[in-house]
Amino acid sequence: MAKRRLPPTRPPRPIRFDLGRLLPGQAEFWRVLETDEARYVAVVTGIRGGKTMIGARRALREATRRGGLGWIVAPTYTMANTPHRLFEDVLNQHPGMVADQRDHPYPYWRLATAKAPEIEVHTAEYPDRLRGPGLSWVWCDELAIADYEAWRILMGRVLDTGGVIFLTTTPKGRNWVYQEFIGNPSGRHKLITWKTEDNIYLPREEVQELKRRWGPGTVWERQELGGEFVAFEGLVFPEFDPTVHVAEPPKDAQWVEFQAGLDFGHNDPTALVILGKTKQGMWWIVHELYESRLSALEMVRDVAALCRQFHVQRIWADQSRPEFIKEFQRMGAPVLASRPCSPKSLGFPRISVLLKEGTLRVAPHCRNVITEFGLYSYKRKRGTDSVKPGDEVEDRFDHAMDALHYMLWSVAPGSFDSLDWTTADPDEQDRLRLLQLKYQRNPGEPLDRPRPRVVGRYVAD
Ligand SMILES: Nc1ncnc2c1ncn2[C@@H]1O[C@H](COP(=O)(O)OP(=O)(O)O)[C@@H](O)[C@H]1O
Ligand SMILES: [Mg+2]
């Protein structure tokens, strides 16, 4: 097909790029494209890292340098607004540059520079619609959330023109962007990454505040602020999203009842999570206790004090530690053995469902609950990166999660009433039966740990 070339309506003018002070990563990105070092270039950073801004400038540079038709692509129509607006800002910095412009059916510009380049904005909702003749360059913003198919088709469109395709995006787990640029890159691929906090143009305190809220080192924080490709597949609760599930309970909440879950620890922390249920049917994690090395006495004292403070009516505790439970009961604390759950993962869907419905929320000061939601994961298969739900869970970052699980597993779904086994939801009974078959075990049966032998006054294992 003949190259589209329309006569410029204004005399071509040279353009000078005033890039101001670029961040080191932005400068590296500029250099890689300027020297044609790579054809597939990805800038992957934390949110507000400064990638769309540099992408927009580079789009104009590629347009004037290469001529022909270039595309700006975003995953959805609304998400296209950002690169559209930033590109327009860049154009406005060069008055008289636009020779022709339309907004329908998609934003379009023709520039008054020597090669009369054309630029269009498109979205990737329907990857098939991205097919067509060759493009001189493509800039994809935040495309990580789109299908790999979109990227594959776009790559094809710069193939015969010798064009470039560059991607500016926040990572989304180890999805196709990771596969493409880290898992299976070619000599033509180049990945540039940096963190949100490397953007010196952002107010530092705000970034630190966000980091605190999301929990430094949580998978979520590492992805959204660190720009890292984190392994999300292994997370037990991938639904947990701090922007949705972390919130202050409303001041006028009408509380129905408070109950708690308790996981005993010594070297590992003892974790208590207190949940309140509101009249509207929301579950709020309103408080946590998370302390290592508490003596039995301290544990009882602290737990009892918190329970008085929140009027907790029942505490569901690890049923494999009857001696602790007895101790609490002697002190008058309303501690009960949690309903047995084996394997543990049997109870996860309960929590997942609440997260998906958005009916389970965590108060922001419950740092350890939030952190564990972001880290609690399934065990990796030895020597591989593969994790599959249903496999064993890691016994790390599981203390507050266990406490939460004891509580939610012991009460009837959707209510604080302790579960009557015979009236459990039929679906759940089916699942239980299947799992019993699989694990050859009755969930009501005690753990198949040998009963302790009593030898004199000592208990031998
Ligand atoms: N080199 C720079 N000079 C001045 N401000 C910058 C620079 N790079 C980024 N910024 C500013 O940082 C903020 C985030 O940039 P943006 O490109 O929107 O981030 P992202 O697309 O990574 O979320 C914007 O306010 C932008 O103006
Ligand atoms: Mg952006």
- The whole-number pLDDT of residue 241 equals 84
- The whole-number pLDDT of residue 152 equals 94
In terms of Cα–Cα distance, which of 363, 160, 150 is closest to 251? 363
- The whole-number pLDDT of residue 246 equals 87
Statement: residue 55 has pLDDT above 50? yes
The class of domain 242-439 in CATH terms is alpha beta
Give the list of residues 6+ apart from residue 265 with CB closer than 8 angstroms, or none.
Answer: 271, 292, 399
Q: Is the CB of 22 under 6 A from ligand 1?
A: yes
For the chain, percent of residues with pLDDT exceeding 90: 54
Interatomic CA distance for residues 381 and 389, integer angstroms: 12
Q: Is the CB of 45 under 6 A from ligand 1?
A: yes
Q: Give the ligand at the shortest distance from the Cα of 74.
A: 2
Q: Which region holds residue 200: left if phi is over 0, alpha if psi is between -120 and 50, else beta?
A: alpha
- The whole-number pLDDT of residue 461 equals 39
Position with higher pLDDT, 290 vs 342:
290
Residue 138 Cα to ligand 1 midpoint, Å, equals 20
Model confidence at 7, in pLDDT bands (50, 70, 90)?
Answer: low
Q: Is the CB of 207 under 6 A from ligand 1?
A: no
Protein residue closest via CA to atom 12 of ligand 1: 50
Residue with tokens 């000592």: 458
Q: Give the ligand at the shortest distance from the Cα of 30.
A: 1
Q: Where in the chain are all domains bearing CATH 3.30.420.280? A: 242-439
Q: Is the CB of 20 under 6 A from ligand 1?
A: yes
Q: Is the CB of 192 under 6 A from ligand 1?
A: no
Interatomic CA distance for residues 103 and 84, integer angstroms: 11
Test site for ligand 1: of 53, 145, 204, most ligand atoms within 8 A of the Cβ: 53
Statement: residue 219 has pLDDT above 70? yes
- CA 62 and chain centroid, separation: 33
Locate 10 and state its tokens: 């204004």
Protein residue closest via CA to atom 21 of ligand 1: 52
Statement: residue 303 has pLDDT above 70? yes
Ligand 1 atom closest to Cα of residue 22? 1
Range in 4-13, 202-211, 240-249, 364-373 with the lowest mean pLDDT? 4-13
Residue 249 Cα to ligand 2 midpoint, Å, equals 31
Summarize the confidence of residues 52-67 as an average pLDDT: 97
- The whole-number pLDDT of residue 118 equals 98
Residue 71 Cα to ligand 1 midpoint, Å, equals 21
Q: Work out the mean pLDDT of the chain and round it to a whole number.
A: 85
Model confidence at 377, in pLDDT bands (50, 70, 90)?
Answer: confident
Position with higher pLDDT, 186 vs 12:
186
Ligand 1 atom closest to Cα of residue 53? 17
Q: Are strands 255-263 and 270-278 parallel, antiparallel or unpaired?
A: antiparallel
pLDDT digits (tens, 9 = 90+) for 309-360: 999 989 999 999 999 999 888 888 889 999 888 788 888 988 998 998 889 9
Protein residue closest via CA to atom 10 of ligand 1: 50
Strands, E assignment, 98-157: 98-102, 108-111, 118-123, 137-141
Residue 303 Cα to ligand 2 midpoint, Å, equals 46
Q: Is the CB of 25 under 6 A from ligand 1?
A: no
- The whole-number pLDDT of residue 429 equals 59
Q: Where in the chain are all domains bearing CATH 3.40.50.300? A: 24-198
- The whole-number pLDDT of residue 447 equals 41
The class of domain 24-198 in CATH terms is alpha beta
Is 258:407 a contact under the CB 8 Å cutoff? Answer: no
Position with higher pLDDT, 380 vs 11:
380
Q: Is the CB of 55 under 6 A from ligand 1?
A: no
Statement: residue 437 has pLDDT above 70? no
- b/e map 430-449, b = 16+ CB within 10 Å: eebeebbeeeeeeeeeeeee
Q: Is the CB of 50 under 6 A from ligand 1?
A: yes
The burial class, CB within 10 Å (0-12 / 13-18 / 19+), for 121 is buried
Statement: residue 54 has pLDDT above 90? yes
pLDDT digits (tens, 9 = 90+) for 119-173: 999 999 899 999 999 999 999 999 998 888 999 999 999 999 999 999 999 998 8
Ligand 1 atom closest to Cα of residue 82? 18
